[in-house]
A = this chain, B = another copy of it.
Amino acid sequence: STRLILLEGENNDKFFTHPRNPKALAAYLFAHNHLFYMMELLTGLLLLMLSLCEAPAVPSLRLDVYVHATLELLALVMVAFELCMKLRWLGFHTFIRHKRTMVKTCVLLVQFVEAIVVLIRQTSHMRVTRALRPIFLVDCRYCGAVRRNLRQIFQSLPPFIDILLLLLFFMVIFAILGKSYFNTMENSLVSLFVLLTTANFPDVMMPAYSKNRWSCVFFIVYLSIELYFIMNLLLAVVFDTFNDVEKMKFKSLLLHKRSAIDHAFQLLVSRQRPMGVSLKQFDGLMRFYRPRMSARDRFLTYKALNTSGAPMLSLQDFYKFYEVTGLKWKARRNWLLIPYCGYFPLQFISRLHCVSVLPLSVYGVEVLLKISGLGPVAYFSSGWNLFDFSVTVFAFLGLIALAFDKEPFYFIVILRPLQLLRLFKIKQRYRNVLDTMFELFPRMASLGLTLIIFYYSFAIVGMEFFADVVYPNCCNTSTVADSYRLINNTQGNKTVLEEGYYYLNNFNNILSSFVTLFELTVVNNWYITMEGVTSMTSHWSRLYFMTFYIVTMVVMTIIVAFILDAFVFRMNYSRKNREPLENPEDENGIVFEVEVSRDDVLAALELYKQMCPGSSSLSSLQGVLQTMDKSGHSSLVYLGRRSRTKSDLSMKMYEEEIQEWYAEYSREALPEPDQSLERDPDSPMPDLSPFPEPQLNSQTGPHSIN
């Protein structure tokens, strides 16, 4: 149960979803491991990939109806199975109260019925509900970041919509003013909407401008207000909300973890000893919490927590639990510093002979030294090392290609200027920029994934409604007919192909749809695609394109706000703490130092032998002793490393506020009798533990923190 609480703290599971009987526990354990997560992910991906093969399919991937319908049914059965496991774990009551799971269930049912209908009729009907498929992917454990992004987007919506209304209000006013020029009100609104995206500027102005030069004032005033003022306001409001939401999210995660630690500590101390957590207890906990961890690492983690040197861990020590569990341990060796010493002169050599062989081989040696020094895992966990490594490898490949002078290596040869990227390491600002980039890459990737999920839904809707509506020489009734023209013009002897190409921007299959949607995202000339499709379907098609514009605007604004926030945060941070970022030792991430003496290790070894005699895991601890013997020292210093996350930065940035939050949190926790004891870990424990063991008393109701 202690382990469960800690896992829940790490996974940000609500405590009221705590499994309450052995069956539920079995289901919880079954549903919380990487195999199950992987299955969830693959099922979600399979369902999304199906749209490559369903009509309208990508030509080379087309499958028969019964094949893809069967595949879909299979995947849906998998999803149903996963949902059943969740139902077992949560129990019926909690299950139907969990909104996301309920939505997923409904979507599953609809998809099931539709898949069966397809299988029976042996033909695909119009299935717009396929746009809901991403929910299966979003719901899986590994997509937690995407879920957070979606939540953040929805939280930013109210202020966004407020400003959007302001924007639309001015648009309507200008549409009324410009009605006589644009003929109809609809035309006026659409033109001004497109003008807001600047896609039809200055063309939309030119006819009026050619008649009266002062007509440009209308357009200039409109753009100044809408594009340069209100659109920026939109960014400002989203940025502001984003900042606030980010901070609140950090706060709630932090407090959730702290409360998990509090509960786990209560359970650990109440059982055997009232004074604190002993190495034995801690080791037992870690063996279940992190089964892959070696005995040595468990021992070192305990040492890292135990800063006071007392025989047991106090609650204060235990609070650092989540900070130390992810560390990778390595004995400190003195020659490790060599690469760092040789590091700075190299920078200057490289400046002088960027592409010559000498510095390249020096770089190669540096990379090899570092890899052998740090070990491959530690080496590649640092963004800067990865950067060095790939630049060097590319440069070597380029050199080899140059030596053999072969054509297929063309792309690698031209990648050689990438060596110049090394120069960016020298300047502090570039270091900051690239550091920020490395740190935020996971988050950026999740934002990109979020965007792709929106793309997917829009692509499905687009394919259902607009597949095969545009083709060469279509849209002759629209104003953009030229862009869709394809003529073999025979002038004398020469045949000139006049191509408008825009017929290529279609929704004929999911890949084309994605490209078309990217073009719509970039916004330039998007109205040509819109008008082409509209002229071949109905006026209502514009709604699709405009909705897409607004949705991507929201997501893009969030992305801009995110980059802005991350970067400004980072700059402020590095302004506040000049040193840590300069320190090359620290720049790879968080480093904990633990010194272990021979006696400590022997004691731990004795303990482990008692606990589980004959276990093979002891060899790692014996290795420590052997190393000591070899080096002749009576103690060894171990360094625990992990890469720095945004959470670490936030911890430093909000240092003062965090203390306030903790104070607030313990004040709130005070009135509840079963938590009031937490602040005095040395006092004897009550018989009633706040989180009853599920195996013992399954009758106890769920315990809610919030």
Contacts and interface: CB of A to CB of B under 8 A. Distances in A.
A525 interface: yes
Contact of A198 (B202, B421, B522): B522
A340 interface: no
Interface in A399-431: 411, 414-415, 417-418, 420-421, 424, 427, 429-430
Contacts of A511: 213
Interface string A483-524: 000000000000000010110110000011001001100111
Contacts of A501: 203, 206-207, 209-210
Contacts of A411: 177
B563 A202 contact: no
A564 B173 contact: no
Contacts of A220: 515, 518
A372 B125 CA distance: 71
A235 B560 contact: yes
A594 B219 CA distance: 50
A684 interface: no
Contacts of A518: 216, 220
Interface stretch (A40-48, A108-116, A161-169, A532-540): A161-169
A173 B418 contact: yes
A229 interface: yes
A538 to B, nearest CB: 24
B523 A237 contact: no
A228 interface: yes
A163 B236 CA distance: 22
A132 interface: no
A531 to B, nearest CB: 15
A427 B223 CA distance: 25
A199 interface: yes
Contacts of A523: 198
Contacts of A172: 417
A170 to B, nearest CB: 10
Contact of A169 (B414, B420, B556, B571): B420
A587 interface: no
Interface in A219-265: 220, 223, 227-229, 232-233, 235-237, 239-240, 243
A150 interface: no
A501 B172 CA distance: 27
Q: Which of A411, A415, A564 has the most CB of B within 10 A?
A: A564
Contacts of A223: 522
Interface residues of A, number: 69
A395 B281 CA distance: 78
A166 B229 contact: no
A201 interface: yes
A568 interface: yes
Nearest to A413: B176
Interface in A414-465: 414-415, 417-418, 420-421, 424, 427, 429-430, 433
B429 A563 contact: no
B235 A201 contact: no
Contacts of A201: 519, 522, 524-525
Interface string A166-201: 100100110011000000000000000000001111
A202 B163 contact: no
Contacts of A159: 429
A559 interface: yes
Q: Which of A227, A415, A524 has the most CB of B within 10 A?
A: A524
A647 B341 CA distance: 50
30 contacts: A162-B429, A163-B433, A169-B420, A169-B421, A173-B418, A177-B411, A199-B524, A201-B519, A201-B522, A202-B505, A202-B524, A203-B501, A203-B525, A207-B499, A213-B515, A216-B518, A232-B559, A232-B560, A233-B567, A235-B564, A236-B563, A236-B564, A236-B567, A236-B568, A237-B429, A237-B433, A237-B567, A239-B568, A240-B567, A564-B564
Q: Which 8 A-B pairs have the closest CB atoms?
A: A206-B501, A236-B567, A198-B524, A232-B563, A202-B519, A236-B564, A201-B524, A176-B414
Given A198-B524, A202-B505, 17 more contacts: A166-B424, A169-B420, A173-B417, A201-B519, A201-B524, A202-B522, A203-B525, A206-B504, A207-B501, A209-B515, A210-B501, A213-B512, A216-B518, A232-B560, A233-B563, A237-B429, A240-B572
